[in-house]
Amino acid sequence: VLLEETSLPLFFGWFLLPGIQDKVRCTSMDFIKTLDTLEAFKKHLTDFTGEAEKEVDLEQYFSAIGALHCTTKFCDYGKAEGAKEYAEKPAVKELYGSAFELSLSALFVTPRTVGARVSLTEDQMTLWPADAEKEAESAVPAAATLPAGSRAHVSLGCAEGVEPVQTGIDLLEILALQQEGQGGELVEEMELGSLAYYGKGRWLLSLREPISAQACFSSHYG
């Protein structure tokens, strides 16, 4: 392995500060626990269990993610396409180590993942790779037609055997359905916001008050 390659991280991203990580974890846990008790959720339980009449404990269903973060560029130590170019972008170099305020605008749950949608500001978009959405095209064909930044998220939990990269794909899938005007039937107003169902076990809670999360732009070497 070339030294030049090993000097690139596993990924770049915004890392949530410890205090806000706890708050986000608690809020998503609250959401999951409440979702589990809703009649509307029970009606679509087979999305999660694959069989009727079976119960699911969502708290147990997902395993938690380590340090909460919003990935900007997955570099895979330089093996990922465009990794070097991203690391060399002036904005990336200038803003490395700076503090940001991320806006978490929605929470979503699918049979595979739990995550929070991040609504990026114009300033934050300078750190967002232009092809982030397009890279998910094989999984979500409409991904490239969604606005830049659509994929921005914080992974909060994964079902057994599911990789965190799936969280962004699940979010893009929901946003693609929204864009097509499909699904998104309003299920109910919860204390945290409005809950909508997008079919196949996909639930999106638009937060009444977005969570403002302090985060540091940095990288992770794994």
Q: Which residues are catalytic?
A: 69, 153
Q: Is 165 in the site for ligand A2P (CB under 6 A)?
A: yes
61/76 Cα distance (integer angstroms):
28
Per-residue interface string for the shown chain with ligand A2P, residues 113-142, x marking contact by CB under 6 A: ------------------------------
Residue 91 touching ligand A2P (CB under 6 A): no
Beta bridge partner(s), residue 99: 216
| Least Cβ distance, residue 71 to ligand A2P (angstroms) | 3
Binding positions for ligand A2P, 31-90, rule CB under 6 A = 71, 74
Which residue among 11, 41, 128, 197 contacts ligand A2P (CB under 6 A)? 11
DSSP assignment of 82-127? THHHHHT-HHHHHHTT-EEEEEEEEEEE-SSEEEEEEE--HHHHTT
The tokens for 139 are 């999984």
Q: How many residues bind ligand A2P (CB under 6 A)?
A: 10
133: three-class secondary structure by DSSP: coil
Q: What are the DSSP calls for 32-50, one per residue?
A: HHHHHH-HHHHHTTHHHHS
Q: In angstroms, what is the minimal distance from the CB of 108 to ligand A2P?
A: 12
Q: Which is nearer to ligand A2P, 83 or 192 (CB)?
A: 83
**Which is closer to ligand A2P, CB of 29 or CB of 45?**
29
- Spatial neighbors of 2 by CB under 8 A, at least 6 apart, are none
Q: Which of 10, 29, 139, 142 binds ligand A2P (CB under 6 A)?
A: 10
Options 92-100, 160-168, 181-189, 202-210: segment touching ligand A2P (CB under 6 A): 160-168
Rounded Cα–Cα distance for residues 75 and 95 (Å): 17
The Cβ of residue 203 has, within 10 Å, a number of other Cβ atoms equal to 23
Residues in contact with ligand A2P by the rule CB under 6 A: 10-11, 71, 74, 155, 163-165, 167-168
